[in-house]
Amino acid sequence: MNATATPPVTPAYSPGLEGVIAGTTKICTISPEIQSLTYRGYDIKDLMLNSSYEETAYLLLFGELPTQVQLCDFTTQLVSERHIPDAVLQQIQGFPKDAHPMDTLKAGIALLALYDVDKNNHSNDANIRKAVRLIAQTATLVAYNHRIRQGEAIIAPQGSDYSHAENFYTMAFGKKPSPVMAKVFNATLVIYAEHSFNASTFAARVTTSTLSDIHSGVTAAVGALKGPLHGGANEQAMLTFLEVKTPENAETWTREALAQKKKIMGFGHRAYKNGDPRATLLKGMRDELIAEIGDAPWVHIADTMENIVVAEKGLFPNVDYPIAYMYYMMGIPTEIYTPIFAVGRIAGWTSHVVEQLANNRLIRPKALYEGPKDRAFVSLSSR
């Protein structure tokens, strides 16, 4: 009597790797059940309200919040690394003016790799030095490219009396931000700095798991961030507010969009089903902007849309939703939103690259084949 054949087991598959654990990290924890986000064990609320971007970047890279002496030394390093080589500047000045800002950022980071003093040194200490360099230089690349695209003269990096946030804002927009704007802008960079195994960070880790260099990993991350389902959502959210135009149009526009099953950018997040804590925290800061620059229609448009989408679809705003109109209130044009995301996230990307290389294993998942099987080869003459 023949035993009954055991049917083949179909391997488990999760589209988009949702819920799949792809590695371990000591850098960031997301707890969607309690709407919590921590960097190295510190709650994002505490960091956003009390920490400078420089402190947060140090924490991500080194695992601990810096002492006053350590922060002073780290800040001095960042300031000293703000300049980019003249050869790189000449190249980006020749980029097409209609090139996507994220493409010019990718190219700029790839160029920096050619001139980095540690380019042939792949030790942990060298990678830390390159990470610090990239944190400083990414801000410069984005600011320079923005000025060049606008046909305006570039503004050199500022000195140590300018924080990282103040330096970037001044270089990009030609004026030092007010204390309130500097505070809010710093908070957005802190919030953007890290978010575990998101698409761009995972792209960086996959790339460097081959033992490629840190600049290659960051270049891959920038490419992933360019997509509207990741970094580009903030720009798309603001374009939606501009399309709605007035608070009076918000309800009709939103209900029509929902009826047409149109995707409204800035809502929903793979990691947060009951609300993005970053969005909630930033929304709490907008009154400071309103008190300084006056009310703005975008705030009321956003609130109306949010109320309807939450009630009708159960979708909550993600971090890109409040940042979209808060940046616009600060005079930041939409085309530079996603590059600014990179200015913040570079600290997280480089920290993950360093962590990946410190205990590396090539990231090489399997795929579930769904194509045709057992096909007989037919010669070219018989096809």
Which runs of consecutive H residues, i.e. helices, occur in the chain? 44-50, 53-62, 68-80, 86-93, 101-115, 124-149, 164-173, 179-192, 199-208, 214-225, 233-244, 247-259, 277-283, 286-293, 297-313, 320-329, 337-358
The pTM for the full model equals 0.92
238, burial (CB in 10 Å: exposed 0-12, middle 13-18, buried 19+) = buried
For the annotated catalytic residues, the residue numbers are 269, 320
Could you report how far apart the first and last alpha carbons of the chain are, in Å? Answer: 45
254 SS3 class: helix
pLDDT, residue 10, reads: 67
Measured between alpha carbons, how far is 316 from 214 in angstroms, rounded to an integer?
A: 35
From the list 63, 201, 61, 211, the residue with the least C-alpha distance to 133 is: 61
Partners of 37 in the β-ladder = 30
Fold of 24-178+200-226+343-358: Citrate Synthase; domain 1 (1.10.580)
pLDDT, residue 16, reads: 79
Measured between alpha carbons, how far is 158 from 165 in angstroms, rounded to an integer?
A: 11
Residues of the chain with CATH 1.10.230.10: 233-329
pLDDT, residue 158, reads: 96
Torsion angle of the four alpha carbons 26, 116, 140, 157, in this order, in degrees rounded to the nearest 10: 110
Residue 283 has, within 13 A of its CA and on its CB side, a CA count of 19
Token digits of residue 187: 């908070």
Measured between alpha carbons, how far is 160 from 301 in angstroms, rounded to an integer?
A: 39
150 SS3 class: coil
Low-confidence ranges of the chain (pLDDT < 70): 1-10
Written out in words, the top-level CATH class of the domain with range 233-329 is mainly alpha
Measured between alpha carbons, how far is 65 from 280 in angstroms, rounded to an integer?
A: 24
In this structure, are residues 328 and 334 in contact, taking their beta carbons and an 8 Å threshold?
A: yes
From the list 222, 243, 245, 258, the residue with the least C-alpha distance to 338 is: 222
333 SS3 class: coil
Measured between alpha carbons, how far is 122 from 277 in angstroms, rounded to an integer?
A: 37
314 SS3 class: coil
pLDDT, residue 3, reads: 57
Residues of the chain with CATH 1.10.580.10: 24-178+200-226+343-358
